[in-house]
Structure 1
């Protein structure tokens, strides 16, 4: 049990006969329909972690609701948390005596949990990754390879504008891992909405430096530092820089630390396409989203780890921040009363047959 609900186990049923494929996954309905982990079959037949996460018993200990898990923090430390009604960071005015900040959104002031921030003395503390990280969701499993969830979010506990209901679906289909999120505004005013997903993809070889990232983004968000990781309001061109991952075969991560928000994304057949390639393991992961509102991809790749978090999301970091020049589209959707919006991400593994070519 996690968050008062059982863990839901998914099993792929229509797997390809050979080649890499996602074969199984575990979902926690008690924590915002979080993907705990996903198993991946390599071309060799070996099964490894595809999305990194602990076994359910260990996950339950981590997701204990204690001080370190305030507002569901630990939900985005592994697996793949769903982020809503905003992704990434939001800064605001600290509320004295409370772990909260005040933020002005569409001429209204809301209070959000101050659940993250820099570690240096005096560093800013802010709201991080939405308001459903610890939300219990109703659920059903109509088939072994599918899980459905429903969250009557309302105004997210008095912390957001309008009223929302959300539906979730996890699928294992043809060796792919697929997430669909649908949000509907059931309130009487526009619903600001920024959806995202926070998966930690494993590098089975354990060799980070040779892993390659392909991300067709023309810009990245400049940040003040990699402690607070807050935007300065400037978009920097990626062309010709160490952050240029637009080449067809991507670019090795090397010794480049990443906790960066990429934007001005190119589309392929109407989709955002990002690839993570582990030549030494003969494996690639293709992360695609057909959702037009996906304006940004946050990439987190620390130097001392063998995972890469690739986060397709609607909004840039701190989307309501005063640092952004007037007229900047920071990616937040505005859903009219009665309207519905869907978000989809698909992860397809593929075989890298000639690693020496990279």
Structure 2
């Protein structure tokens, strides 16, 4: 039943849709890397024209394997979130702290407990702050199984993530191709005796098949944007700004053209539609729309990363705001789940494709 190849020393599991729609946009294949935290490397998507394209911005498998070399750029698995679609846990986005002299680490506090996290990202300017970024499973090897061509599952006995996180966690992953859609589910279970803090997210680089980023449109019904100090460090100030009527208002039914705007912004106070937190990316030049939706009530934010010189849009549904335990938030609920002993929380994301002429 397994459809497995290897890239470098990593298993590469291929999913194939069992019964996709006969016509119209649909996801047909997907490639998952269990050795990189169950990240999605690529997905193949049929357009309304019948052409089949790569849905994600990512290198071919051989080039991807070379990226995962454990070198300076891949410290703590960083290369996993530079393309494809990495899964982020036990926190998404940034966590700030005090740098540890002589080590690529920070001292910080999570849910009242002093911890040391990898200092794996930060601003590029001289003296810019460095911090922890996108969780602790970016290069984790996850035991996995494929019981059907259209599905792959994994289970990681994460424990305390090598002494870097409070509590004990078990993470279960499930990727599926169903009904023309691509679906991800991540369940975090508290296997310890104390409450387990948990933030989960997903980091997909959705490619624009037309390559024409200026005409691409984003729809994201949200009431607020988290302000940041700048687009280098991208650190939250603790202020939330209403977006209605402004240049960051993407709530109109047809979305808003991206034009030349640079985005690396976290949107919150999400306006759910039919119980779903959602966003849409529209590429009119290729007659393609992608709808990213989550029924998880714990999804409180969507980070959007869209440089104007790139033909992709990253939309990240995630539990938490950036730096969720930072003093700048003044005690605000920043979206981190606190799972009681023996309980669990589930993250769901589903991507469906549609032809714009039908919307």
Classify the TM-score, shorter chain: over 0.9
Contact 1:2 1:31 in 2 (8 A): no
1:57: how far off?
A: 1.3
The DSSP-based 3-state class of the residue aligned with 2:213 is coil
* In structure 2, C-alpha distance between the alignment counterparts of 1:268 and 1:55, rounded to whole Å: 36
Deviation digits for residues 326-347 of structure 1 (CA, Å, limit 9, x no counterpart): 3x11110100110011110000
Deviation digits for residues 304-340 of structure 1 (CA, Å, limit 9, x no counterpart): 10000000000001101111123x1111010011001
1:213: how far off?
A: 0.6
Deviation digits for residues 48-94 of structure 1 (CA, Å, limit 9, x no counterpart): 11122222111110011111100000000000000000000111011
Deviation digits for residues 167-210 of structure 1 (CA, Å, limit 9, x no counterpart): 10111111100000011000111111000000000111111111
1:118 aligns with 2:123: yes
Tell me what 1:341 maps to: 345
* In structure 1, C-alpha distance between the alignment counterparts of 2:226 and 2:132, rounded to whole Å: 18
Moved more, 47-56 or 139-148: 47-56
The DSSP-based 3-state class of the residue aligned with 1:82 is strand
Gaps of 5+ in 1: none
Tell me what 1:269 maps to: 274
1:354: how far off?
A: 7.3
- Which runs of at least 4 in structure 1 moved beyond 3 Å after TM superposition? 1-5
* In structure 2, C-alpha distance between the alignment counterparts of 1:212 and 1:329, rounded to whole Å: 31
* In structure 2, C-alpha distance between the alignment counterparts of 1:268 and 1:276, rounded to whole Å: 16
* In structure 2, C-alpha distance between the alignment counterparts of 1:208 and 1:55, rounded to whole Å: 22
Contact 1:38 1:52 in 2 (8 A): no
Map 1:2-81; keep pairs closer than 5 Å. 2=7, 4-81=9-86
The DSSP-based 3-state class of the residue aligned with 2:327 is coil
Tell me what 2:265 maps to: 260
Map 1:73-112; keep pairs closer than 5 Å. 73-112=78-117
The equivalent position to 2:147 in structure 1, one of 124, 132, 142, is: 142
Tell me what 1:353 maps to: 357
The DSSP-based 3-state class of the residue aligned with 1:7 is strand
Deviation digits for residues 17-58 of structure 1 (CA, Å, limit 9, x no counterpart): 110111111100001001001111111111111122222111
1:131 aligns with 2:131: no
1:231 aligns with 2:249: no
Aligned pairs, number: 354
Deviation digits for residues 78-118 of structure 1 (CA, Å, limit 9, x no counterpart): 00000000000111011111000011122210000000000
- CA RMSD, 1 decimal: 1.1
Deviation digits for residues 222-256 of structure 1 (CA, Å, limit 9, x no counterpart): 00000000001100110111100011111101111
1:152 aligns with 2:157: yes
* In structure 2, C-alpha distance between the alignment counterparts of 1:214 and 1:308, rounded to whole Å: 12
Instruction: Calculate the TM-score normalised by the size of structure 1.
Output: 0.97
* In structure 1, C-alpha distance between the alignment counterparts of 2:354 and 2:148, rounded to whole Å: 25
Instruction: Calculate the TM-score normalised by the size of structure 2.
Output: 0.97
* In structure 2, C-alpha distance between the alignment counterparts of 1:109 and 1:140, rounded to whole Å: 36
1:283 aligns with 2:288: yes
* In structure 2, C-alpha distance between the alignment counterparts of 1:188 and 1:131, rounded to whole Å: 21
Deviation digits for residues 244-290 of structure 1 (CA, Å, limit 9, x no counterpart): 00111111011110000000000111111111011111000010000
1:162 aligns with 2:160: no
1:209 aligns with 2:214: yes
